[in-house]
Amino acid sequence: MPSSEANREVWLDVIRGVTITLVVLHHSMIATKYWSQSHDIELHRFLGEFGAAMGMARMPAFFLCSGILFAEPARRGIKWFLKNRFLWAFWVVLLWTTITYLASQIGIHHYPWISNESASYQILFLINPYGNFWFIYAIAILGAMTVIFRRLPIGIKSILVLVSSALMLASLDVFNYSSGMKTLIWNLGARGILFFSMGVFLASHLRKPFKTKYTVAALMLSIWFVAYVIKRQGIFSYDLATFLLQLPATIAFVYLVQFVAQRAEWFSQCFSRLGKYSLDIFLLHQFFIGLIYATLVTVGFTISSTVTLAIIFSGSVIFALISGIILRQSPKNFFFKTPPLPKRIVSLICPDLKGIRK
């Protein structure tokens, strides 16, 4: 997920900014729905439909951008990957799982709808991804796959993408995974491998934005709408519908975001800013969803579900962004980057580092 500022394209920041905002909205809607049920209040149907439509493209677009940004670093080889990306993923998961666990022990529950769930030894030993941390696991796995298979012909790699995606989904019916592992395996099989690989394969064509037109934008919106209607009809199984229909939906989503960004400077500036702090918002927003939810429960006011959603969503985005900016001032950017490690430890993980680009 980390990326060099020099290699970052503005439109990729915009996409990441939009997608991380939709991630926060999705989690805020789950919390609002849970709160509304406890108060016998219905969540507005439009919000549910909107969330479901965005869900077809939200995470696929995030994986696509991650693949685009990883295409160039992947050429540096397995040693570079182990030293930089693997250690980073391990550190982030270890640190933030610990922080999340400690917060839960003092009553700050990140996931109000499962607030009675305590962290098990599987979570503490990183065997079972906790909450949305599955995404960090996924990025590490996808990065490793990309580096290992980078020298294979594109045709072979494409077959491996489809086969590995199918095997991931099929394994869910065979093995009794823990809840976190189920989420990780399903997301890898249904969308992660496909869209991350697409980003890597097509990075040279996708790094720069393309010119958008009103007619094409209207066509893309229609394609997305049709894909959503087909999925709603339940013609295919859920996994198959997700795998097949999210592709046109994601292509439409990416095009439409570019279309708006090229015509609204405020939109581009706002979401590119959020995109640069997407990791911070990703790791922090659930803290504030939990805090705001707990505050609403404590206060005890009965307000509409729409107002509740607006409070949880806007507060989580704003406070996560501010907190991320503050935490980045910590020594060595401790909360978001791998701290300096003794050479002996690094050499055990990645021996013979001479000549590797940093």
pLDDT digits (tens, 9 = 90+) for 179-194: 889 999 999 999 999 9
Q: Give the pLDDT score at 357.
A: 40
Report the percentage of the chain scoring pLDDT > 90: 51
Q: Is the pLDDT of residue 228 over 50?
A: yes
Q: Is the pLDDT of residue 256 over 50?
A: yes
The mean per-residue pLDDT over the stretch 84-93 comes to 90
Residue 223 maps to a domain: yes
CA distance 301 to 296: 7
pTM greater than 0.85: yes
What does each C-alpha distance from 332 to 122, 155, 335, 341, 345 come to in angstroms?
29, 42, 9, 12, 18
Q: Is the pLDDT of residue 1 over 60?
A: no
Phi, psi for 262 (deg, rounded to 5): -75, -15
Residue 64 maps to a domain: yes
Residue 217 maps to a domain: yes
Q: How confident is the model at residue 260 (pLDDT cuts 50, 70, 90)?
A: very high
The secondary structure of residue 120, as a DSSP letter, is P
Residue 194 maps to a domain: yes
Lowest mean per-residue pLDDT among 136-140, 147-151, 344-348: 344-348
Residue 357 maps to a domain: no
Share the mean pLDDT of the chain. Answer: 85
Lowest mean per-residue pLDDT among 24-28, 168-172, 227-231, 296-300: 296-300
Domain that holds residue 19: 5-349
Q: Is the pLDDT of residue 53 over 80?
A: yes
CA distance 37 to 16: 32
Q: How confident is the model at residue 358 (pLDDT cuts 50, 70, 90)?
A: very low
Report the percentage of the chain scoring pLDDT > 70: 87
Q: Would you say 345 and 352 are in contact if contact means Cβ atoms under 8 Å apart? A: no
Q: Is the pLDDT of residue 122 over 80?
A: no
Residue 13 maps to a domain: yes
The mean per-residue pLDDT over the stretch 7-30 comes to 88
Residue 117 maps to a domain: yes
Q: Per the structure block, which two tokens stand in for 63?
A: 């994986």
Q: How many residues does the chain have?
A: 358
Looking at per-residue pLDDT, the higher value among 147 and 79 belongs to 147
Q: Give the pLDDT score at 7.
A: 38
Q: Give the pLDDT score at 353.
A: 45
Residue 159 maps to a domain: yes
Q: How do residues 274-305 score in pLDDT, each as one tens digit?
A: 999 999 999 999 999 988 988 888 887 777 88
The secondary structure of residue 52, as a DSSP letter, is H
Looking at per-residue pLDDT, the higher value among 3 and 326 belongs to 326
Split into its structural domains, the chain has a count of 1
Q: How do residues 318-347 score in pLDDT, each as one tens digit?
A: 999 999 999 999 888 889 988 876 666 556
